[in-house]
Amino acid sequence: NTGKARAMGFELESQFRVADGWKGHANYSYQDLKWSQAGAGTLSPRHKVNFGVQTDGNSRMEAAMMFHFVGSSQITSNGNPFLVNSYLRADSRLSYNFGSKKLPMALSFIVINLLDDKHMEYPVTTQPGDPVQSVPQRRTMYIGLRGQL
């Protein structure tokens, strides 16, 4: 750990009713990070916004749609700046609840990056001094089973 760092920021969050049986949430976060170490960039984006709607969970079927905006960020690798552009990602979930009150179960179908925009996320390095690497994020689908035994 060398140099000095400063971190400042804030976050706002709200939950609200959209319609009968639907609720929403929104949040915004801002952070300003500074390092005194020469050549260091900020990997953390300054602006992040999340917005989503979902059913209130009072029926067998549940649905959710979430949107995530992430501002651009930059890191310096071997003296070269590496820019990660801002992006908007959409995720969705559809679940079917079954079982009993004592043994609740849910089967879910989840899609991450629904729009398949192939955006770049956080770059990684395998060894200090190695070049920064990142790969486009693709649409990912999951089937999940959740329950209590």
Average pLDDT, the chain: 84
**Which pTM value belongs to this model?**
0.79
- Rounded distance between C-alpha atoms, residue 111 and residue 64, angstroms: 11
Of the candidates 92, 102, 22, 28, the one whose C-alpha atom is nearest the C-alpha of residue 54 is: 22
CB-count burial class (<10 Å; 0-12, 13-18, 19+) for 73: buried
Mean pLDDT confidence for 122-132: 61
Output DSSP code: residue 59.
S
For 68-91, the pLDDT digits (tens) are: 999 988 776 666 777 788 999 999
Q: Are 54 and 63 in contact (CB under 8 A)?
A: yes
Q: pLDDT value at position 77?
A: 65
